[in-house]
Structure 1
Amino acid sequence: MGKRDWGRIRKLPSGRWQARYPGPDGRLRPADKTFDTKADAAAWLADKQSEINRDEWIDPDAGKIKLAEFGSRWIAERRLEETTRERYEIAFRVHVVPYLGDVELAKLKEGRVRTWRKTLEDEGVGKASTAKAYRVLRAILNTAVDDRLIRRNPCRIPKAGDDGSAERDAPTLDEVFALADAVPPRYRALVLLGAFTSLRFGELAALTVTSVDLVEGEVHVRKSQAELRGGRRLVKGPKSKAGVRIVAIPKAILDDVRAHVEQFSEPGADGRVFVGPLGGKLSRHNFRKVWVKALAESKIGKTDVHFHDLRHTGNNLAARAGATTRELMARMGHSSVRAALIYQHASREADRKIADSMSKAVRKARKAAKPKGHARGTPGDLAG
């Protein structure tokens, strides 16, 4: 055994060389591999000493905690909205723990993560659920890196956290009114406001009578209703400050909203605007039955329209009306420009189609009016 100024090197009976070093905790620790030569072992020790001097040393025993234990603790200790915590817990318990729960953090490498994700896909787990599970796992392991339990996050698959959801078609104006006519009268204003104020179902369910200004024609969004497992409903504040907003109600539907408040809303300033037939709070699950029936009875020829798709109709209309990015963000309750830009892009595409149609009409008219002998392609011809 040879002694050094820092660390130790010895030759093993196999002929290979072992390196050991004093960790910051005072324990003499062996390298995680053996070496062909003494010089290789010495070089490894020099790197390890430099690592400790830079305060980048990772305790090799720290990463022996199993993913199931660390992830469950991460979800329990993290400051999350109750609904967000529930989504994280379900994604982790259903799609991560059965496959990776018994793996120690230090042994969870990139290849294992790739195999896990491919297994989810092969078993028919949807893209959105797979992406959500990947995002949860990546966030958990980011904290493991911060806590110096592992050196590097093995979740390194490009775009694996993108759910890749296909862009959904927004209902047309005729389809919106067909659905509003098909639902029971107490839900007509719910459908119209969902389409023309772009409020989410949870925001509509949380509206109180004082939230709807029938004089100015405005909806004041301050709260949102979330639904948890077991059917429990929770009224809470929005996810961001942008969620608290005032949205103008188009005058074309103001009479419908006024009639609804007078006939169906709970009495009193704090009464809920929308309630069920027996006076209970709106429930996504119960309303879903009403919605599916309305889809069939409206004869719009579509069975895969979601209530949330109404919001896309309103956003598209606002974009085509010339709303700026900031105006769209304010109306939608978004703090990010990403979603607003999507609708503005759609609006520009629609405007381009209009311009193209105009060009065709102009070219047709010019061609009909062109005198004989007029050369094609001269400055007098519009290219459109």
Structure 2
Amino acid sequence: MPTMCPRRPERSRFHAHTTPRSFGSLRRLLSGKWQARYSTPDGSRHAAPHTFDTRRAADDWLSDTRAAMLRGRWVDPAAASITFGRYAREWIATRDLSPRTRDLYEYQLSRWADVDLTDPTGGTIHLAALDVGRLDLPTIRRWFAHPGPSRAAHVRPVGSLIRPDNYNR
């Protein structure tokens, strides 16, 4: 009776090679491109928004992502697509506030966050329409300096969402 060799498990059609790392992982797809993936401290997994032609490019992207996390500048890709105005309104809606305080916060949001700022190229940025992922320290500083120094005392609720001292330099 002929002996049959055990059937070799089929290769996944999604990848041919996975590379473990101290942060994230790289895998080579059957197309020859590389995919970078990583986990956040809360345990959620994320993949790079695109694949890479070389392992080096994928590795560099992971390194940049880790550096952004360590510097406190990483933004969850899902959260980055929400506008600041929507985020702020949702933040207010989820707080246990008295009706009067809620009205005050919404008034201050409409007064102080619905503003146009000058961007570095000379154009304007509407703060409430800006994606949260594009909020950076220079934009926040321009927003804080916009109407004048007396403004900071009047925008505490809105300012607590994007206060500059919450950001690392």
TM-score by length of 1: 0.23
Structure whose residues are more often helix by fraction: 1
Which protein shows a greater Rg?
A: 1
Q: How does the TM-score come out when normalised to structure 2?
A: 0.45
Greater RCO structure (CA 8 Å; 6+ sep): 2
